[in-house]
Amino acid sequence: MNRASWLAVLAIVLAIADGALFLAWAQPTAALAPHAEDPLPNAAPAAAPPAAGDVATPAPARSADLAMPMPVTRISATADTAIVFGTVRLADGTPANGHAWLSGDGAPKSGASITAGTFLFAGVPPGRFTFRTRIEQAMPTERDVEVVAPRTRLDVQLDAAWLLTVNAVTPEGLPLQEALAKAAPNASTFGGVLTALAFAEPIRGDLPPTALRQATGGLGEFRGDDRMRGGSALPKQTLGVLTLPPDRPAHVALLLRSAVVATQLVAAGQTEVVFTVPVADVTARLGKVRLRLLDPTGNPLPKVQVALNDQQSGGGGKATDAEGRVVLEHLRPGRLGLEVRHASLRPPAVQIDVAGGADLDLGDIVLLKRSTVTLRIAGADDTTRATSTALAGTLPGWARPSSNSLRVEKGEVTAWLPAGRHGIYVATATHCAFVELDTTAMPAQPIQVALEPGAPLRMRCRIGGGTGAAIVRSPRGILVFDRELNGNWEQSLRVPPGAYEVEVAVGSGGPQRRMLTVPIEGAELTFP
């Protein structure tokens, strides 16, 4: 059998498997008798859109608005879970296409496609969830929904929006993005080097450093080159399109990740804005970092690849010279993670804040052998999550500890940690624990971890159209929360009762720090 025949057979097998999975997930609805007002799912879609406004009610899963085939995402299907389904339409009633997410306390975040205005989630545990959408040419939307088994329906009509095309050129009329790629090729990244965000108030100074590929927040949403997602290529001078709330002006910021290059006030309903900026003004905001790598005995490490990347990128960088030195140039400002590719040695798990135009010398960085650590967690369940943090005292002054997710499988965690002191935070929906380890004096393994009832820490973000970042950590430096802030949302987690350090940065202001005491009955934290 030739290769083409094998591929055809494989496609048929996968199609049969997908069909079997869908039938298994949809089984709770199969026993329902057809209803006169609620025809079978493969009936033709209704011609008229739903009434204005949102509806979130338990309902039969058979609907004229839900035409097959249906995109399905399973969270964890059991007899006690629910199917969540419904419709999403644009402000003019047109069925939308895009993506939707469900997230809630005690349940993993799950995504599904919105196809021809319909979506479906299966295996959702009853409770309160947040439903979010990402749809081209529509404002990001979120709705609270109370999920009730066996079926819950949510119909959403999106708010009106206006589209603003963002262009950037040099004084000579050349596309700025293209000119920048020639002047600083190392700065190039998927989606373009330059982006834009809009704000209700003027931006004074740079945004808080972001660990993402591009800054988030502000009013509406910025969409750059969409060719990788099936969209059309943009004109060379066009950075992207901002989807904005109607009937209000906006202060648009041209961004080099978190560094503000220029701003303009745009009138409500304006369809296009053009930034005219010399290439030198942009390259002046790129950062430079120099360092030297040493082995545990203090000898330089030549020909080792070093990179500084955001959380959504990897690779690249530059090799050290014969003395273990390297200079990384044309870095887009932001919170960047140190990556070193060596066969057996690892750097500390850290992030570096690179400001616009920064020229940083990190000095000597010693790479160390990593240790294998196994934790056995009593009382772990499907919601258990664990993160590790390199503790202060083992890190240089310029470094910011980064939390790394650890995989919990069958009540155990196996982690590979660089030499030094580490804190591990383990939490379920109701219980939690802190574990501190020194890899130079490791106890017998597996290390037994007993979870204790945790205090609920309830967090509410009310930044709306702004942007920011927040960190919550124990006094000994164990991270329990590290998230960039935008929009309005609520989240709860369980932490050991006690004192915590809170660091919050909003807009172009610097970070503000304060202490928070969390008693066993819990505490609330509101951003900003």
Length of the chain: 528
Which token pair is 167? 């262009």
Other Cβ atoms less than 10 A from the Cβ of 88: the count is 25
For residues 177 and 239, is the Cβ–Cβ distance under 8 A? yes
Q: pLDDT tens digits, residue range 246-279?
A: 888 999 999 999 999 999 999 999 999 999 999 9
Q: Which of the residues in the chain have pLDDT under 50?
A: 1-53, 58-77, 228
Which token pair is 347? 């750097």
Under 8 Å CB-to-CB from 156, ≥6 apart: which residues? Answer: 54, 86, 87, 88, 89, 131, 133, 141, 143
Residue burial 212-237, b: 16+ Cβ < 10 Å; e: rest: ebbbbbbbbbbbbbeeeeeeeebeeb
Under 8 Å CB-to-CB from 347, ≥6 apart: which residues? Answer: 293, 338, 339, 340, 365, 367, 418
The pLDDT of residue 514 is 95
Which token pair is 99? 């993506």
The pLDDT of residue 490 is 83
Query: 447: helix, coil or strand?
Result: strand
The pLDDT of residue 314 is 83
Other Cβ atoms less than 10 A from the Cβ of 354: the count is 25
Under 8 Å CB-to-CB from 402, ≥6 apart: which residues? Answer: 337, 349, 350, 351, 389, 390, 482
Under 8 Å CB-to-CB from 379, ≥6 apart: which residues? Answer: 428, 431, 450, 451
For residues 67 and 45, is the Cβ–Cβ distance under 8 A? yes
Q: pLDDT tens digits, residue range 187-229?
A: 766 557 899 999 999 988 999 999 988 898 899 889 887 654 5
The pLDDT of residue 74 is 40
Query: 129: helix, coil or strand?
Result: strand
